[in-house]
Amino acid sequence: MAVRRKKRASSKAGCLLWIVAFVVLLILFLVKFEDIRAVVQKTGFLDALRHAVSKPAPSAPTVQTQEPQQPEQQKPSPEAPPAVSAPQTPLPSGQTAAPSTSPAPSAQTALPSTSGPPSEQAPEQAPTKKTRTAVLYFVQIHDDGSISSQRVKRAIPVSDSPMQDTLEILLEGPTESELRANLLSLIPSGTKLRGVSVKGTTAIVDFNDAFGYNRYGKEGYIAQLRQIVYTLTEFQNIKDVQFLIEGKTRAFLSEGIALDKPLTRASF
């Protein structure tokens, strides 16, 4: 019994000591309350405690929509809206803000595409060459052996030398369709135009030596001269034609066919 009484007495004494200590601490806390509050505010202990307890709510992801692409006109990319930073909780004194853990904007952020589909370009058209109508004269041999002149038209490019171009085409002879129509040229094969000039109303034409040999005889000579005279006098400023062979005037092209003077349509 004595032992139990000693234990109770000692436990009561311990409780009294704890109560006395608590009272002393409470008195000291009340006496030093202002100093303790100043120290707490200075160190920022309460702010640190709030920062550790409260966590900022995660911001909702920003959804970017793509605008429809225009086929031919490119739209400038809109400026990205400024990023809204999450509110930061003040840190205790003496501490630096930790680097933001929010992910940096990716370099491949989906933005409205500025490159539309390749524009359909119309194929470049070559500039159309201007043409003019050239009148040429070929011949047609009939069943009775008579020869008549036949007038044909050709579309040829416009140039600075229309008379020379016309004669060059005449020397090339009839086309396939004209040949099927029984049109011929009696200008000797191998004839080349050496030059053409105009003096007043006279066209002066110079041919190579092959022009002086016609295998069809006198009728052939007359027909070749008539082809050239009729063709050149289709030009409004030309009334007659002076013929040269190798740059020289010949008195006769063949027996009875004089070449020393200009020839007109009335010469045939």
- pLDDT of 140-192, one tens digit each? 999 988 899 999 999 999 999 999 999 999 999 999 999 999 999 999 999 99
Read off the amino acid at residue 190.
G
User: Tell me, what DSSP letter sits at residue 208?
Assistant: -
pLDDT band of residue 70 (cuts 50, 70, 90) is low
Distance between CA atoms of residues 157 and 159, nearest Å: 6
| Both tokens assigned to 69 | 């692409």
pLDDT band of residue 25 (cuts 50, 70, 90) is confident
* pLDDT for the residue 89: 45
- When comparing pLDDT for 102 and 144, which is higher? 144
User: Tell me, what DSSP letter sits at residue 111?
Assistant: -
- When comparing pLDDT for 179 and 33, which is higher? 179
Give the domain ranges of the chain.
14-49, 131-267
**3-class DSSP assignment, residue 113:** coil
Distance between CA atoms of residues 169 and 135, nearest Å: 10
Query: What DSSP string runs through 24-53?
Result: HHHHHHHHTHHHHHHHHHHHTHHHHHHHHH
Please state, as a whole number, how many other Cβ atoms lie within 10 Å of the Cβ of residue 118: 8
Most confident of the following: 10-24, 53-67, 192-206 = 192-206
> CA of 210: how far to CAs of 18, 51, 206, 231, in Å?
148, 114, 11, 20
Each residue's pLDDT tens digit, 233-262: 999 999 999 999 999 999 999 878 999 999
Distance between CA atoms of residues 243 and 234, nearest Å: 17
* Angle separating helix axes 33-43 and 45-53, nearest 10 degrees: 60
CB 153 within 8 A of CB 159: no
pLDDT band of residue 13 (cuts 50, 70, 90) is confident
Q: Is the model's pLDDT at 99 over the cut of 70?
A: no
* pLDDT for the residue 145: 85
pLDDT band of residue 92 (cuts 50, 70, 90) is very low
* pLDDT for the residue 6: 63
* pLDDT for the residue 228: 98
- When comparing pLDDT for 106 and 49, which is higher? 49
Read off the amino acid at residue 161.
S
